[in-house]
Amino acid sequence: MKKKVNNIRFLPFCSRFVLTLSHNNQSTITNMKKQLNKIIAGVSVALALYGCANQTTSFDEIVANRRSVRSYDKTQKVSEEQVRTLIATTQEAPSWANVQATRYYVVMSEEKLNEVLPSMLANQEKASTAPVLIVTTYKQNQSGFFNGEAANEAGNLWGAYDAGLSNAFLVLKAKEMGFDTLIMGLRDADGLKKALGIPSDETVMTVVALGYGNQVPKRPDRKPLDEIMKIK
Ligand SMILES: Cc1cc2nc3c(=O)[nH]c(=O)nc-3n(C[C@H](O)[C@H](O)[C@H](O)COP(=O)(O)O)c2cc1C
């Protein structure tokens, strides 16, 4: 319930305030100004802190800053919760008839990391620095298929297509979360299947290194836009 202002008590307070001002009490005014300045400074700091905490990175910034990073600081760990957030984001990627045929095998225990390393072939040295290696596969005969029949000539290439789209979401979300990544296509699929118990009806695509990079690679040149795009 709202309290009723007691006019009789309030009036003497107001008159004292007016009197103070009208007597041009310089020190009181100076004190009030100081207090006001302090309040303004405090509010400004609070607003600035709030702004920093809520700062978001734009999509263009994420795209511009993502690079394939080939060396990581293994002492900076990635948590299981962070991995779950990352993979959950890939689930938002589009897929053929929403079949969601892409699968991820996240290797983050020291023991398994060592076990899969020989399967990384020419990428072994790079992969050895990453605290997390994410193997991407897709379930065959789902993406690009209707009732078990390939819908067109591309067949299981659609599974690979969906996995690539999913990986795109992965590397961009990882960058937004402050991580770096390296997609690796050079790997021994059979070795990975054996080490991770990947079912035979899945095709192994990439291994993505995830972690905090300790290098900032230069952006490799891109082809001129008009070489890769034709407007008809
Ligand atoms: C499907 C695919 C396979 C790749 N395989 C490897 C690989 O085996 N080893 C490697 O060092 N980089 C690999 N890369 C990274 C590319 O070399 C890299 O994306 C390209 O040079 C462009 O550089 P950027 O990613 O920094 O923009 C691969 C990338 C993709 C998309």
Identify the CA nearest to 66 among candidates 198, 222, 178.
178
How confident is the prediction along the chain (232 residues), in pLDDT tens digits per residue?
333 444 444 444 444 444 444 445 566 666 766 777 776 666 665 655 555 455 678 999 999 999 999 999 989 999 999 999 999 999 999 999 999 999 999 999 999 999 999 999 999 999 999 999 999 999 999 999 999 999 999 999 999 999 999 999 999 999 999 999 999 999 999 999 999 999 999 999 999 999 999 999 999 999 999 999 999 9
| Nearest Cα residue to atom 16 of ligand 1 | 68
What is the C-alpha to C-alpha distance for residues 168 and 156, in angstroms, rounded to an integer?
A: 19
How many CB atoms are closer than 10 A to CB 218?
Answer: 6
CATH tag, 60-211: 3.40.109.10
Q: Which residues contact 200 (CB under 8 A, 6 or more apart)?
A: 193
Distance 35 CA to ligand 1 centre (A): 59
Write down the domain spans for the chain.
Answer: 10-52, 60-211
Three-class secondary structure of residue 183 per DSSP: strand
49 CA to middle of ligand 1, Å?
38
C-alpha distances out from residue 160 to 83, 94, 154, Å:
22, 13, 10
Count of all residues that appear for the chain in the document: 232
